[in-house]
């Protein structure tokens, strides 16, 4: 359509509109990709997963990229699973001794260049046997060629061995904490860890024909992934990414629902006048003095914290506000237009006048307001979550901040935990605000004439 093209051209004249649109476009693309790759049920499973899902992650780990800003580099978390072969890093050898007894050697090799020791190193065993446990002995080879005995034990079907919690190992290392002891540079006074290639060698013997053994070596560094982890070892990229579609959906649906319903109700009131209009006016006046947030908090506390309930209540409470008065004032003016009188003269019904003649006149005014109100709703959803009234099952930005707060993240210096969702919130708000601002400039001068 011609006027659409013209409006688009005009929008492109505002740098802020372009920047805002780009931000929104990017968010929408991210939301699309996220929804396509992580189904809703999967997201919820992961988010609610706890230790079983997230055992391989460190706790409270800032994102890996903070190393770029640090002089003292922190070790990055990783895991090596003997079920997968990964070049040099995992080497598994198998030797059949006599048809029943067999030896399996697993060697994990990794490069360590950090200035700080890891939080923890663990082995997650997975043994197959009927009655006789396989036996494993573990060696630690340092970059300078020293070989340390770590431990020897029989392996249960599923068992976890945490190096830092092995009291015997601690004693063997001379009473120092295993993580420090294992990485210690013998020539250094300061206890700076030795850099280079380390190896962890598992030598196991199985005593049954079909017995086998696998182990996943998990190196719990001090930093993790792109976004870091929380108190439950959860990778924060999940809620950060999943928060995009949720924030957009909530913000857009609430803004759209509120604006469209407000407009329709205002149009109906202005058109019919009389008691209909009076009623709408009175409801609005009452609603204006009702404490909006308190009602939401009450609904969240006593009824349901589902995002859909909150969305519904938010829209309901936002319809009858100042907006309805503004729309009404303009509708009352438009109502008197000659073209509406003409429409009545050639037989338009009331409904047709409202939807075909009154409302389309308002749409140019509606759009900037709608776009500008999106951030408010995004922030509202986040605020509720921060107050602990977020949807209990959904991974959202507000929920991250809420978790961070209950775990005293700022007190502990875990700034990433709060800053990441906060920055995303700000970018989203900024995108819509910038576009809304430009749209307002474009659409409003034309409306002054009505």
Partner 1 sequence: MTDKQRDVLLSIQDLHVWFELRRFGFGHAGYVKAVDGVTFDLHFGETIAIVGESGCGKSSLMKTILGLNKPTKGKVIFENLDVGALSGEALRQYRAHIGYVQQDPFGALAPFMNVQQILEEPLLINGVKDAAERERRVRKVMEEVKLTPVDDFLHKFPHMLSGGQQQRVVIARAIILEPKLVVADEPVSMLDASVRVEILKLLRGLQEKYHMAVIYITHDLSTVRYFSERVFVMYAGNVVEKAPVNSIVHNPKHPYTAALMDATSDPDANNALTMRELPPGEPPSLVNPPPGCRFHPRCPKRIENLCEVEEPYDLQADDHLVSCWLYK
Q: Does 352 interact with partner 1 (rule: CB under 8 A)?
A: yes
- Residue 157 CA to chain centroid, in angstroms? 35
- Residue 353, judged by CB atoms within 10 A of its CB (0-12, 13-18, 19+), counts as middle
Find the binder of partner 1 among 361, 391, 396, 421 (CB under 8 A): 361
How many residues touch partner 1 under the rule CB under 8 A: the total is 20
Find the binder of partner 1 among 160, 188, 349, 444 (CB under 8 A): 349
Q: Does 205 interact with partner 1 (rule: CB under 8 A)?
A: no
Task: Name the one range near partner 1 by CB under 8 A: 152-160, 189-197, 253-261, 345-353.
Answer: 345-353
Pairwise CA distance, residues 251 & 224, whole Å: 30
Least Å from the CB of residue 361 to partner 1: 7
Task: Name the one range near partner 1 by CB under 8 A: 69-77, 136-144, 244-252, 355-363.
Answer: 355-363
What torsion, rounded to 10 degrees, do the Cα atoms 409, 415, 417, 419 define?
130
Pairwise CA distance, residues 205 & 223, whole Å: 35
Pairwise CA distance, residues 173 & 40, whole Å: 48
Q: Does 187 interact with partner 1 (rule: CB under 8 A)?
A: no
Name the residue nearer to partner 1 (CB basis): 252 or 362.
362
Q: Does 195 interact with partner 1 (rule: CB under 8 A)?
A: no
Angle between helices 415-447 and 359-386 (to 10 degrees): 170
Pairwise CA distance, residues 326 & 353, whole Å: 20
Pairwise CA distance, residues 236 & 229, whole Å: 5
Q: What are the DSSP calls for 279-340, one per residue?
A: HHHHHHHHHHHS-HHHHHHHIIIII---HHHHHHHHHHHHHSSHHHHHHHHHHHHHHT-HHH
Task: Name the one range near partner 1 by CB under 8 A: 19-27, 214-222, 267-275, 347-355.
Answer: 347-355
Task: Name the one range near partner 1 by CB under 8 A: 73-81, 132-140, 323-331, 338-346.
Answer: 338-346
Q: Does 342 interact with partner 1 (rule: CB under 8 A)?
A: yes
Which residues have CB under 8 Å from 144's CB, separation 6+? 186, 194, 196
Find the binder of partner 1 among 346, 411, 445, 448 (CB under 8 A): 346
Name the residue nearer to partner 1 (CB basis): 199 or 348.
348
Name the residue nearer to partner 1 (CB basis): 87 or 274.
274
Beta strands in 180-297 (DSSP E): 196-206, 212-220
Task: Name the one range near partner 1 by CB under 8 A: 130-138, 157-165, 281-289, 342-350.
Answer: 342-350
- Residue 81, judged by CB atoms within 10 A of its CB (0-12, 13-18, 19+), counts as middle
Name the residue nearer to partner 1 (CB basis): 217 or 327.
327
Find the binder of partner 1 among 25, 97, 339, 444 (CB under 8 A): 339
Over the window 318 to 337, marking each residue x when it contacts partner 1 by CB under 8 A and - when it does not, the resulting string is -------------------x
Q: Which of residues 3-42 bind partner 1 (CB under 8 A)?
A: 3
- Residue 19, judged by CB atoms within 10 A of its CB (0-12, 13-18, 19+), counts as middle
11 to 316, 335, 436: CA distances (angstroms): 32, 29, 11
Name the residue nearer to partner 1 (CB basis): 287 or 348.
348
Question: Residues in the site for partner 1, rule: CB under 8 A?
Answer: 2-3, 337-339, 341-349, 352, 356-357, 360-361, 363
């Amino acid at each position: 359509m011609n006027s659409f093209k013209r409006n688009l051209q005009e929008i492109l004249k505002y740098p802020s509109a372009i920047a805002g649109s780009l931000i929104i476009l990017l968010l929408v693309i991210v939301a699309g990709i996220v929804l396509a790759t992580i189904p809703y049920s999967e997201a919820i499973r992961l988010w609610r997963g706890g230790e079983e899902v997230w055992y391989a992650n460190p706790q409270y780990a800032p994102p890996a990229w903070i190393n770029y800003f640090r002089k003292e580099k922190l070790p990055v978390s990783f895991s090596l699973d003997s079920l997968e072969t990964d070049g040099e890093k995992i080497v598994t050898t198998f030797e059949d001794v006599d048809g029943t007894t067999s030896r399996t050697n697993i060697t994990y090799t990794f490069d360590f260049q950090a200035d700080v020791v890891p939080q923890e190193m663990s082995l997650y065993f997975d043994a197959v046997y009927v009655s006789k446990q396989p036996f494993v002995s573990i060696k630690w080879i340092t970059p300078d060629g020293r070989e340390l005995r770590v431990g020897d034990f029989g392996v249960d079907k599923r068992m976890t061995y945490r190096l830092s919690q092995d009291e015997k190992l601690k004693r063997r290392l001379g009473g120092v904490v295993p993580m420090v002891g294992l990485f210690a540079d013998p020539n250094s006074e300061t206890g700076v860890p030795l850099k280079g290639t380390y190896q962890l060698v598992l030598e196991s013997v199985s005593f049954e024909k079909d017995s086998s053994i696998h182990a996943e070596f998990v190196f719990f560094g001090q930093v993790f992934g792109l976004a870091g982890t929380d108190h439950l070892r959860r990778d924060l990229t999940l809620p950060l990414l999943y928060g995009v579609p949720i924030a957009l959906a909530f913000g857009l649906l609430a803004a759209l629902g509120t604006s469209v319903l407000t407009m329709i109700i205002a149009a109906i009131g202005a058109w019919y006048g009389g008691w209909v209009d009076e009623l709408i006016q009175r409801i609005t006046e009452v609603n204006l003095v009702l404490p909006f947030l308190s009602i939401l908090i009450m609904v969240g506390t006593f009824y349901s914290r589902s995002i859909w309930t909150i969305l519904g209540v938010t829209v309901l409470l936002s319809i009858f506000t100042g907006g309805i008065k503004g729309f009404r004032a303009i509708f009352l003016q438009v109502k008197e237009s000659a073209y509406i009188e003409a429409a009545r003269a050639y037989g338009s019904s009331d409904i047709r006048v409202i939807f075909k003649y009154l409302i389309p006149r308002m749409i140019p005014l509606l759009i900037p307001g709608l776009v500008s109100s999106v951030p408010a709703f995004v922030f509202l959803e986040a605020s509720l979550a921060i107050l602990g009234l977020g949807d209990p099952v959904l991974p959202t930005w507000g929920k991250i901040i809420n978790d961070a707060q209950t775990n005293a993240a700022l007190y502990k210096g875990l700034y990433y935990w709060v800053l990441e969702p906060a920055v995303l919130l700000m970018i989203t708000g900024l995108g819509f605000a910038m576009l809304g601002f430009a749209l307002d400039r474009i659409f409003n001068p034309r409306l002054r004439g009505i």
